[in-house]
């Protein structure tokens, strides 16, 4: 009888340990860091909607047209976009990878400028949103000098958040300057004449 009780007790302990590790594994999988948090098929993008501080958060729309891109807004009719502007935005999004999660707390959004003060970019295919992201502030970290140079290497970090998520990521890219440009600076005036 004692052997049976001992075996039942050992089995109960084994099941409790297995259940504990199963729950820990499930909890860990929900908190797993995903470097490719914002994958985007750039070939599928037919429009980009940008709300940036420099344009007083008025929506600027980039649309594919006749093999190129045009820009428009609620107050401006479509005009050709400066060469390379949209390609640069799409290239950056194609390469977007996070190097870490910096916060999961919405109270920190303003610190990283990924709340109301951030630049919102929506990548569309027709009426379908492919990616909706808020681009925040840039931080420049001084790295260690490399090679024979004694000048520290500057390492840019941009802070971003998917608009429907609380998670703020850092990425080693210079994102905000490409998206926070005045409407006027994006128009290809040479193509209008």
Residues 6+ apart with CB under 8 A from 51: 57, 58, 59, 60, 119, 120
The SS3 call for residue 149 is coil
Residues 6+ apart with CB under 8 A from 64: 45, 46, 47
Domain boundaries, the chain: 42-192
Could you tell me the CA-to-CA distances from 74 to 48, 50, 59, 71, 143 in Å, in that order? 14, 12, 7, 11, 43
**Mean pLDDT value across the chain:** 87
Write the pLDDT tens digit of every residue in 93-120. 999 999 999 999 999 999 999 999 999 9
This prediction has a pTM of: 0.78
The DSSP-derived string for 3-53 is HHHHHHHHHHHHHHHHHHHHHHHHHHHHT---TTTT---GGG--EEEEE-G
Residues 6+ apart with CB under 8 A from 56: none
**In the predicted structure, residue 182 carries a pLDDT above the cut 90:** yes
Write the pLDDT tens digit of every residue in 25-48. 544 445 567 888 889 999 999 999
């Amino acid at each position: 009888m004692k052997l049976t009780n001992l075996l039942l007790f050992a089995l109960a302990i084994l099941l409790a340990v297995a259940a504990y590790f199963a729950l820990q594994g499930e909890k860990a999988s929900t908190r797993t860091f995903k470097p490719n948090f914002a994958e985007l098929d750039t070939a599928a993008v037919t429009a980009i909607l940008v709300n940036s501080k420099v344009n007083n958060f008025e929506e600027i729309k980039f649309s594919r047209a006749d093999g190129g891109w045009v820009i428009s807004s609620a107050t401006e009719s479509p005009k050709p976009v400066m060469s390379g502007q949209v390609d640069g935005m799409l290239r950056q999004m194609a390469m977007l990878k996070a190097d870490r999660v910096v916060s999961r707390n919405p109270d920190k959004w303003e610190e990283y400028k990924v709340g109301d003060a951030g630049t919102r970019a929506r990548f569309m295919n027709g009426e379908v949103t492919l990616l909706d992201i808020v681009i925040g502030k840039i931080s420049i970290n001084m790295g260690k000098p490399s090679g024979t140079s004694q000048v520290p290497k500057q390492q840019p970090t941009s802070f971003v958040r998917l608009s429907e998520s609380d998670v703020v990521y850092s990425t080693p890219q210079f994102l905000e300057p490409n998206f926070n440009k005045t409407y006027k600076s994006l128009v290809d005036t040479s193509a209008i004449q």
